[in-house]
């Protein structure tokens, strides 16, 4: 990936439409993104199509922002992001109405006007290539590519920060460039209601506040990954999904800061699987950090107690592994993974899916099994506990393993709530005041009205004969 360091020494002197490049050091040939001839064509096209709003000196007037200066360049991670905004939202009176090569030439002129040196080759009419032409230096910070994501136990704890302060600052500038046509993340204007849409807007304008100031964002997206996927696939409105991946990640970091979430030491990684394990829900703690098994124990082996006194293995072995931010359980041998901490009153939330097997003609052919073991106090395969069933055809039924419980199960509701094998399902298990309620994809399926457990116990995730995947495992200790 090409990178072009933009130093604070860059001086942009406006003088009747001319700009000096100050003491800027010559850029390597690989970082010279456009040709002189192309920029000259772009200048003519700019004056014809853009000058009446942004002025011939590119300083803008009224609501048209300036197109020169270090603050302008900071709004774009790459040439491709600048091209996206220019080609998809401009000119204001003829949106997306110019030839593509005309937009390319205008962008070349904007680069020249901002002091970036010309090269021998013209800026290509290739969006992917332009996204590799990076306009912002991150100094000593590492790129947001996920390689510096440590995945320690605290890495998915909001209190320790999902993003860095430097990343949020980059994201703030990117937000101004790509999102400010429709949204604001600032709260210094009075909120008014738009009668057409029923949404809140600021200062009577059609700049909508992104819904980050309340619990609604957590209820809708649940995790940083949910928010990231929403933004990267639907925004900006003028070019949905058209920005650089790095720009989307940094914008999400800024939105997290705007919502009051604290910064940490590392950048938010460009890894949607890792972000799926970063919960946004108030009061919840991530049990799985997306990278390793910190905080979990294991017991594997039929009818076994833990070694050395018993025959059971206490390592994940080949039974439990991690792939792309997801725990994968092979289902063999029998056993379970369990939390290090014990719980009595809690809300457990997670996502799961089974691996669809080759040759299945329908879900009726699938007999995959697993489960969630509650109130474990002495480890054994199987321990005394209550099992919230994970078997696909009977998911969230109840098994009182060597214990007593009174419960009801709604089998008809399950038929409507359960997604096909291979798709992700969401589970919520709420234990409170001697009762347990279990819901699938927001639908209550089973209720334990009485059980015998009065003390906190560990929670197990069962290996029992079929490959199952888990992610976004989080808990609120009541």
What is the residue-wise DSSP string for 39-59?
HHHHHHHHHHHTHHHH-TTS-
What is the structure's pLDDT at 208? Answer: 55
Per-residue pLDDT, averaged over 196-203, amounts to: 43
pLDDT in tens, 42-77: 999 999 999 999 999 999 888 889 999 888 989 999
Q: Is the pTM of this model over 0.85?
A: no
Per-residue pLDDT, averaged over 292-304, amounts to: 96
Q: Do domains 2-134 and 291-477 have the same CATH topology?
A: no
Higher pLDDT, 331 or 16: 331
Q: Does 378 score more than 80 pLDDT?
A: yes
Q: Does 97 score more than 80 pLDDT?
A: yes
pLDDT in tens, 310-360: 999 999 999 999 998 899 999 999 999 999 999 999 999 999 999 877 777
Q: Does 459 score more than 70 pLDDT?
A: yes
Q: Does 469 score more than 70 pLDDT?
A: yes
Higher pLDDT, 4 or 296: 296
CA dist 52 and 46 (Å) reads 9
**Domain range list for the chain:** 2-134, 153-276, 291-477
Q: Which CATH class is domain 2-134?
A: mainly alpha
Higher pLDDT, 231 or 62: 231
Question: What average pLDDT is seen over the chain?
Answer: 84
Q: Does 21 score more than 60 pLDDT?
A: no
Triad 454, 455, 457: Cα angle to 5°? 125
Under CATH, which architecture does the 291-477 domain have?
A: Sandwich (2.60)
What is the structure's pLDDT at 282? Answer: 82
Name the CATH topology of 153-276.
Cytochrome Bc1 Complex; Chain D, domain 2 (1.10.760)
Contacts of 351 (CB under 8 A, 6+ apart): 276, 424, 425, 426, 427, 470, 471, 472
What is the structure's pLDDT at 28? Answer: 54
Give yes or no for a contact between 278 and 291, defined as CB atoms under 8 angstroms apart. Answer: no
């Amino acid at each position: 990936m090409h990178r072009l360091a933009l130093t604070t020494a860059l001086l942009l002197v406006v003088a009747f439409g001319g700009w000096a490049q100050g003491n800027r050091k010559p850029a390597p040939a690989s970082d010279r993104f456009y040709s002189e001839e192309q920029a000259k064509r772009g200048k003519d096209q700019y004056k014809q199509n853009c000058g009446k709003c942004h002025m011939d000196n590119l300083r803008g007037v009224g609501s048209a922002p300036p197109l020169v200066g270090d603050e302008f360049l900071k709004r774009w991670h790459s040439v491709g992001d600048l091209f996206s905004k220019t080609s998809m939202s401009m000119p204001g009176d003829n949106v997306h109405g110019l030839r593509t090569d005309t937009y390319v030439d205008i962008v070349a002129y904007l680069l020249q006007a901002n002091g970036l040196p010309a090269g021998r080759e013209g800026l290509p009419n290739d969006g992917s290539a332009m996204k590799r032409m990076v306009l912002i230096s991150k100094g000593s910070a590492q790129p947001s590519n996920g390689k510096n994501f440590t995945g320690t136990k605290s890495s998915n704890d909001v209190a320790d920060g999902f993003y860095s302060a430097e990343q949020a600052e980059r994201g703030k500038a990117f937000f101004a460039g790509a999102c400010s046509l429709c949204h604001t993340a600032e709260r210094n204007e009075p909120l008014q209601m738009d009668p057409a849409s029923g949404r809140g807007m600021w200062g009577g304008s059609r700049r909508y506040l992104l819904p980050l100031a309340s619990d609604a964002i957590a209820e809708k997206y649940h995790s940083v990954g949910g928010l990231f996927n929403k933004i990267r696939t639907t925004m900006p409105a003028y070019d949905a999904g058209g920005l650089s991946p790095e720009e989307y990640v940094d914008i999400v970091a800024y939105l997290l800061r705007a919502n009051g979430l604290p910064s940490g030491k590392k950048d938010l990684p460009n890894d949607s699987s890792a972000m799926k394990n970063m919960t946004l829900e108030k009061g919840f703690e991530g049990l799985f950090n997306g990278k390793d098994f910190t905080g979990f124990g294991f017991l594997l082996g039929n009818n076994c107690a833990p070694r050395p006194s018993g025959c059971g293995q206490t390592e994940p072995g080949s039974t439990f592994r991690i792939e792309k931010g997801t725990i994968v359980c092979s289902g063999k041998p029998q056993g379970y993974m369990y939390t290090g901490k014990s719980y009595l009153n809690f809300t457990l939330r997670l996502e799961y899916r089974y691996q669809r097997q080759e040759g299945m003609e329908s879900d009726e052919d699938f007999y995959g099994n697993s489960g969630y073991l509650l109130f474990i106090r002495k480890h054994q395969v199987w321990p005394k506990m209550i099992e919230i069933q994970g078997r696909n055809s009977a998911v969230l039924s109840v098994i009182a393993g060597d214990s007593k419980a009174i419960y009801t199960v709604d089998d008809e509701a399950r038929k409507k709530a359960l997604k096909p094998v291979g798709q992700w399902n969401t589970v919520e298990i709420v234990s409170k005041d001697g009762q347990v309620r279990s819901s699938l994809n927001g639908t209550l399926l089973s209720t334990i009205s009485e059980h015998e457990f009065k003390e906190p116990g560990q929670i197990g995730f069962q290996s029992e004969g079929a490959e199952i995947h888990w992610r976004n495992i989080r808990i609120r200790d009541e």
